[in-house]
Every structure is written in C-alpha cells, then in structure tokens.
Amino acid sequence: MSHAGVMCLALLLDALFGEPRWIWSRLPHPAVLIGRVIGHLDRTLNRAADSAARRRAMGVLTVVSLCIGAVIIGGILAELGGMIEALCAAILLAQKSLVQHLRDVARGLRLSTGEGRHMVARIVGRDTRDMDDAAVARAAIESGAENFSDGVIAPLFWGLIGGLPLMLLYKAVNTADSMIGYRTPRHSDFGWAAARLDDLLNLIPARLSAVMIAALHGQMHQWGDIAREARQHRSPNAGWPEAAMARGLDVALSGPRAYHGTMQDFPYVHASGAQDIGPREIEAAIAGLWRVWRLALVATLALMVIGAAL
C-alpha cells in the first residue's frame, strides 16, 4: 500500500474511532511511552552541574536517539503490512480527540463559566482560574487551530512523505518539544535541539494549515494580514493557523493571559474581530476544522490516485 493509501485509511480510522478509552485505559498510549523515554533521558543526561555546552550536546544526543529509534520502530511496524501501518498511523492523528475536547469546552461554557474553565484547562497551559467566557472561548479556539496543525496536518504531511517512520519521528520530536523545549534554566540548553527541530518540522505544515483554513473560510484575500500577524507571534509556527482561524471566524484571538500567576499582555490577533465570544464561536471553529479535514482527505485521495496511475 502506498503512503497516500495508508494515510487515507488512517484519516478515516481516526475520524471514526479517535482514541478509544477501552484501549488506552488498559495500555499506555504511544505518546505516553515516548514521554517516559524523554523523561528518563532528561533525568539521566540533563545534569545541572554540567556546562551549558555539554547540556546542549546531551540534548542533541537525546533528539538524535529519539529520531533513530522512531524511524527503526516505525519501519518495523510498517513491514507488518499496510493495515497495521494504517492503524498505527491513525493513533498518531488527533482529529476526533481534538474536536471532542473543543466540544467539551463549548458544552461546559453553556453550563457555567466554571465548567468551561475546567474543560479548557485540560487543553491549555495558561491560568484558567480568572477567565471569563470570552477568554475561555479564545483559548479553546487558539488551541484547536494550533493543535490541528500539530496533531493532524503535520503528521499527515510527514506520513505522506515517509510513511509511519517519519510520522513517528515527527511525533517523538513534537513530544520532546512539549516536554523539554522551554526557555527555562533547566531546559534552555538541553531542550534547544528539540525546540529547533520541532520548529523546522512544523514550518511547512503550519503554513499549509493556514492556507487551508483561510481558503475554506473565504479569507485568502486577507492573506497579507494573516501572514503579518503570524510573523508577530511568539512562536514561528503556531501563529499561522491561529491568525487564519481568527479571520476565518472574524474573532479576536490571543490577547492578555496569565501564566503561573503572572499576567502577560500579548496583543490580539485580528483585533478588529469580535471579542465577546463563547460556545457558538467554538462550534464554528469545530465545523471549520472538519471542513479542512475533509479537504486534507480529498487531497490525500488525489495523491493516492495519481500515484497509482504513474
């Protein structure tokens, strides 16, 4: 089975079944296993007494080891047949689980602000205790746009290029970035390689996600504004799908938020968009993400057909 054929089947399996609790309540999810390996390497190789240069070198060694291991394991699993590869690939996609989390936030907000805060705290790292309804909705929509790029388009992109081995490599690097890719005293050096490689691997998928979101929301005429605001984002990649979604829904995203008790005055993305938002806008974002998912499926099917014809 071609890479495109495997990815088509994986997209459909993920959309149908997501992440069944009856499986992952009994077995560790691959992301959890990857996280355990990264945590072990962090504890073992990242020593505070070492020089900055040595910690950076150990971080590079960690990322290289993760990439080699991911490619080897992915290659072994791919050799078991197209169906096994597709099942494994589906586990590395996150469309259904992503929209389920967003829908939980919308439902929570309809019950109460407190329930909305509780639900959004499951998917964002910022402080949620003092959020109003609009801040909860903004956080959910931002997370949805960014994680659609990280959790669907990026693994699909690398899977189309290199099958399960590259897909698993991407997942390992993305997980490493989420665990050690921070500019903190402990991880600024050790996590440098993970953060930089994650930025590189997401460079094209993030912009591709933005193009797809903008196109399906009829906002390509605002591409110049989307690109300008995306480049102003603190992340080299996350701002692209976020800026596209903001204009697609005509809402203001980002803005001030608190981390660890400290308020940070981030500028709004698409500041002229609606700021008094809530569950309705979250549901609109969910509908938009499903439209983009369908476009990704059609494009993957087209690649499969073209590949079969060549």
Across residues 194-222, what is the average pLDDT? Answer: 97
Tell me, what DSSP letter sits at residue 222?
G
Cα four-point dihedral sign 228, 234, 240, 246: negative
pLDDT at 199 over 80: yes
Residue 207: pLDDT band by 50, 70, 90 thresholds? very high
Across residues 146-172, what is the average pLDDT? Answer: 97
Across residues 97-113, what is the average pLDDT? Answer: 96
Distance CA 18, CA 21 (A): 9
Query: What is the model's pLDDT at position 78?
Result: 95
Query: What is the model's pLDDT at position 145?
Result: 96
Q: How many CB atoms lie within 10 A of CB 159?
A: 28
The predicted-structure confidence for 44-78, as pLDDT tens digits, reads as follows 999 988 999 999 999 999 999 999 999 999 999 99
Distance CA 120, CA 136 (A): 7
Residue 14: pLDDT band by 50, 70, 90 thresholds? very high
Residue 259: pLDDT band by 50, 70, 90 thresholds? confident
Q: Report the SS3 class of residue 191.
A: coil
Query: What is the model's pLDDT at position 75?
Result: 96
Distance CA 283, CA 265 (A): 27
Lowest mean pLDDT among 1-10, 111-120, 124-133, 148-157: 124-133
Q: Which helix (H) or strand (E) holds 249?
A: helix 239-249
Q: Are 241 and 213 in contact (CB under 8 A)?
A: yes
Residue 265: pLDDT band by 50, 70, 90 thresholds? confident
Q: Are 104 and 119 in contact (CB under 8 A)?
A: yes
Across residues 249-276, what is the average pLDDT? Answer: 89
Q: What is the CA radius of gyration of the chain?
A: 20
Best CA proximity match to 19, nearest among 85, 83, 90: 90
Q: Are 277 and 177 in contact (CB under 8 A)?
A: no
Best CA proximity match to 285, nearest among 143, 171, 155, 181: 143
The predicted-structure confidence for 119-137, as pLDDT tens digits, reads as follows 999 999 888 888 999 999 9
Is the pLDDT higher at 27 or at 102? 102
Q: Which residues contact 107 (CB under 8 A, 6 or more apart)?
A: 119, 279
Tell me, what DSSP letter sits at residue 26?
T
E-only strand ranges, the chain: 253-254, 257-259, 262-264, 268-269
CA-based max dimension of the chain: 59
